[in-house]
Each structure stands twice: as C-alpha cells, then as structure tokens.
Amino acid sequence: MKRRQRRWLGIHRAFAGIESFAEANRKILSGSLYKLSTVESACFSSPEEAGLQVERLAFDSVPHSSRLFLDFLRDPVALRKFYPNAVRFHHELAERASETLTRYETNRAQLCDALRDMNNDWGATAETLSNIERLRKDDCVAVVSGQQIGLFTGPLYTIYKALSAVKLAKCLTARGTEAVPVFWLATEDHDWKEVQSAEFIACDGRLASASAASELHTEGMPVGQVILDDSIKDTITRLLDVLPTTEFSPELKKMIVDAYLPGRTYTEAFARMLMHLVGRYGLVLLDPLNAELKRLAAPLYTRAAQRAPELARALVERSRELEEAGYHAQVLTSDDAFPLFLHIDGARRALSRNAEGRYRAKGEGRKEYTVEELIALAESEPQLFSPNVTLRAVVQDYLLPTSAYLGGGAEIAYFAQTSEIYRLLERPATPILHRASLTIVERRTNRTLERYALHLRDLFAGFDAVTRRVVEEHLGTEAARLFNETEEAMRAQLDLLENGLQNFDPTLGSALETTKRKINYQIEALRGRFYRAQMSRARAAHRQLERLFTTLYPEKTLQERRINITSLFARHGRYVVDWIHDAIDLSTTDHEIVYL
C-alpha cells in the first residue's frame, strides 16, 4: 500500500471512534485533537497513520532473555542499587534535565563545531545541522543511542535504535525539555567479524549474506579506520544480485554505491548510508575517533587513568554483587585491568597491571608503563587512547549532555556494572531505557501465519515443533488423530497390564516400565517419520514454513538481530523507514510485532 493510501486509512481509523462529525469538530475546537498531534504523537506510536497493525509480545516469552534484563523491564527502580538514576517511564526524564545540564562540563561550542564538521562530511541533512545548532544552547540535552558500524548499517536494530532516539528527543522537546537525538558510532571497536557482514532475505526466500573483504582489516585495528578498496564493489554486486528486483532497486543501489565508495573509511560509508535513511529526522551522528572529541575527552581519560586500580576493584566487586543477587556480569573483568585501550601502530591494545604495579600492553612485548606515564599520555596525546566497554558510556556522557541512553538487553546489563565507574569518576549515572524492539511481518509472511494459525511466539518452539503442529492441524489431521488414539489406547492397556503384574510379581512391573519406554520411543520415531513424509509430499507448505522461519526467526534469533534494512528497503523503499518510525512506541517495554 502506498504511503498516501496508508495515511488516509489512518485518518479514517482515527475518526472511526468519534460518534459524529460534530463530535470531531468539538474535539478539534477544544484542542484535544490538536494536542494529540503536537505532543502525544511525538511521545506515543502512531501506526494507524500508516495503516499498520501492531501487536505486543512480552519479553518473558522471548527466548534468551536474561533475568537481569527481564527484572529491569518489570521495574527498573527496584534495581537502583545497580541503576542509581533509573526511571520507570520516559516522561520522568524531564525531572533529570536540570542535573544533567548543571553537571555538564564539556565546551558546547567546540563539541558542536566538531559535530557540524563531521556530519557535513557525511552529507548531513538540514534537519541534522539544525539540531546541532540547537545543541549549542545551554538548555538543550541529548538523547543518545549507538551501535557498531556494521556493513550497510548492520542488523535492523541499528535503525530501531536511531529512530528510538529520534522519537524520545521529539517527545521531550514537545513536553518542554529541549532535546536532540545523537547516535554514537562505535568506530573504536576492533572486532572486524562483528561488522564485516550483512544478512538479508534473498529473492528466493533464503537467508543470504554479503561480506567486506577480510584483508581490509588488520588485528587490533579500530574498524572505523578500515579503508574500503575496489573489493567493496563485488560486495555490493553480491547484495544487489541476490535481493529481489523491484521499483525501489534503483534508489537502493544509488544509496549503497554512493555511501560505500572505494577510498572511504568504514565510518564514512556507514554514516552516509545511515544519514540517507534517517537523516530527515534530524539524527546527529558522532564518531569518537574524531581528534577534537579526543581532546575534549582528555580530562576524563586522565581521571580514569589516575583511579585505574580503584575502578578495577569496584568493577570486580560489582560483578560479585550481581552474581550474588542471582544475575550475571555482562563484562568479565579483573582487578588488574586498565579502563583505557592504548593505540600502538594502528592497533588498540588492552593494558593490564603486573605485580610491580606497572602496566603492560597486550601484544607489545616487555614494554611497561607506570601510572604516571599513562596519565601524562592521556593529558598530552588523548588520541592514543580509547575507553574500554565499562568506561565508554561515561566518556559518551561526558562529551554530551545526555538525558538518557537507549540500548538493548546487553547494554542494559553493561550499565549495571558501568554505574560504578560513573560514581567513582563523580559523574551522574545516565538512565538507560530499552530501545524499540520490532519484528516486521510483511504481507506474504502474514498470509502463511494466517493459513496455519501461527504466531511469532509459536516459532520459538523450533521448526520441528511447528512442522508437527501444521501436519497435525492442517496437512495430515486424520493420520495424526490415529496416532493419538493408538497411543492413548496402548497407554491405557499397558497401565492395566502393569496393575495386574504388580499384584502378581512386583519385579515384572519394573520390567514393563522399560518395555513401555521402548514402545513409546518407537511410536514417536514412527510419528516423526510420518511428519517428515507428509512435509516432503507437501513441498509448498515446507517451503512456506522455511521462509517463515528465515524471515521472522532466522537462526533461532529475533529478526532484528540478523536481517539488514536492505531486505525491507528492496521490497518497500524508503517508506518502510517511516513505518518503523510510526510504529515505535516509547510507552512500551514489550517486543512489537508490526504487520505491514
């Protein structure tokens, strides 16, 4: 459905609940509908405007959700030992704005000059540049999210994070707290395998991938410094050849080719593509490898270096407290760790303290540094350092007047440990909120769900379980009924025999238990063969179920963690980004299922 058609459908739905035109007119005149459009629409989802249907699914139902994450979603305030400034609802953030602004130390003019320059280099939109100018004002806060700079923007949740920040910033601004959305590009990470590939749904419904060349990266090198060469053309060709060809293919190709040019850094390529996708919403991008930002972060680097042993001990203690509380420590740490990486010959190296109290960089032989030497380096050459995972958020919130950070389950777990670093470095701990989590269900996929009366949660049981259900309820109902009746009859007869044998000779009863297990095993094996035979005969159904899993639950994980935005862009164009934006609901901590 075209965007205009979806919006008219949304208008129709909006007025469907009003008893009469006069009632609608009264509400408009009273301002209630106007207020909804100016404030509430920024703070809540508006999927009806795009004709979307959205369902919620509690994370308790989603596999692999950690206990800490689930408890945080239920009541973050109850976990204030680990999240000192936790809030239950996003509208409570306005109360924290004054503390954020009062304790903000970084020079706004220099920060915003750097942001302006880097965003201009990446093809910044007028909306983004306007937000940078707004950030110069002393009363403006930042709503922050961030992610590794994955190929073609990486998994879908990169887009969800960016648009979550956009919506929360708009909501705070609409309610009187000036805010701009900022996206932290994790360019300092050196895990190339994590960002090297993109996965997408091929035109034949299979899960496919494209990868940047391994040779572009050297061990320990920050991924943001990778320089693309001509091999990226083959990567792009692979992507475009496998995706379906649609009316949106020319724009998709232009977007990718313009962003991923040979000679550009991985940072610039990622930033240009993300700007093309969401820049019209005013998202501000930030590269922590920027030399000016390193200089601005130097005072915090110095403080962290000065208190390194204390920070390390506090993290070990916090990990112990989390485990004693029945949770897990997301970051494995030790009391000899140093909070900063040292960049040596193009690679970033972890530092650890030896028995003599000196620090040695991993992979740098026997060279050692005293704490004083590292402090002096942090002051004079901050570009030689980058924060480790426990310090990164603190650096981020030192550079930015951060009102809130929007992250996923793993990041929420990080913050339970990171809060100790905030405390010791005398920085206000930033509240973390769960970013939007979505599964996008396209029409073809939804038809399969409806045909077999399935739901996303059913897929969590696995392909075999779903296959069994489809066979029993739709493809081989009569044979499935016979299996069930036979199994019940045999169980009843064996139970009668067991009772008789127990009265005659109890030792025969235990022998019968073994026989029953063998019989049940054989029946289940025969039943399994029947399911496979049935699905083999019903090849269309088998392909539909395979595509269903590939699209909604690829490799036994949520769609958002594997599939790249190009899968949706190829089929729907840039409209899909608007639909995602409209569907994001800041008021929920559930997973959202969005039916296009």
| Residue 234 within any structural domain of the chain | yes
Q: What is the pLDDT of residue 40?
A: 59
Residues 304, 346: one domain?
A: yes
Where residue 556 falls (left for φ over 0; alpha for ψ -120 to 50; beta otherwise) is left
Q: Is residue 57 located within the same domain as residue 115?
A: yes
Q: Which tens digits make up the pLDDT trace of 288-324?
A: 999 999 999 999 999 999 999 999 999 999 999 999 9
Structure confidence by residue, pLDDT tens digits, 371-393: 999 999 999 999 999 999 999 99
**Is residue 567 assigned to a domain?**
no
Is residue 112 in some structural domain? yes
Same domain (yes/no): 156, 211: no
The DSSP result for 327-387, as a single string, is: ---SS---TTB-SEEEEETTEEE-EEE-TTS-EEETTSTT-EE-HHHHHHHHHH-GGGEEE
Residues 174 and 202 in one domain: no
Q: What is the pLDDT of residue 33?
A: 41
Cβ-proximal residues to 482 (8 Å cutoff; 6+ apart), any chain: none
Whether residues 218 and 296 fall in one domain: no
Identify whether residues 27 and 128 lie together within a single domain.
Answer: yes
| CA atoms 100, 104, 106, 108: torsion sign | positive
Rounded to whole angstroms, the Cα distance separating 560 from 546 reads: 18
Residues with pLDDT less than 70, the chain: 1-41, 365, 475-481, 483, 485, 501-510, 527, 531, 533-537
Provide the domain count of the chain: 4
Each residue of 322-336: pLDDT tens digit? 999 999 999 888 999
The reply to whether 182 and 208 lie within a common domain is: no
Do residues 168 and 228 both lie within one domain?
A: no
Reported as a single tens digit per residue, the pLDDT across 447-472 is 999 999 999 999 999 998 998 889 88
Find the domain containing 175 and state its range.
3-190+434-442+572-595
351 inside domain: yes
Residues 34 and 115 in one domain: yes
pLDDT in the model for residue 540: 83
Give how far the C-alpha of residue 131 lies from the chain's centroid of Cα atoms, to the nearest Å. Answer: 24
pLDDT at 11: 40
Is 303 found in the same domain as 265?
no
559 domain residue, yes or no: no
- For the entire predicted model, the pTM comes to 0.87
Does residue 209 lie in a domain region? yes
Q: Hey, what are 167's tokens?
A: 């919506």
Are the CB atoms for 284 and 271 separated by under 8 Å?
no
Query: Does 163 lie in the same domain as 17?
Result: yes
Domain annotation covers residue 283: no
* Structural contact between residues 150 and 195, judged by C-beta atoms closer than 8 angstroms: yes
Burial class of residue 355 (count of CB atoms within 10 Å of its CB; 0-12, 13-18, 19+):
exposed
Rounded Cα distance, 61 and 404, in Å = 27
318 neighbors 68 (Cβ within 8 angstroms):
no
CA distance 213 to 210: 10
In a domain, 449, yes or no: no
Please indicate, yes or no, whether residues 28 and 177 belong to a single structural domain of this protein: yes
Largest distance between two CA atoms of the chain: 93
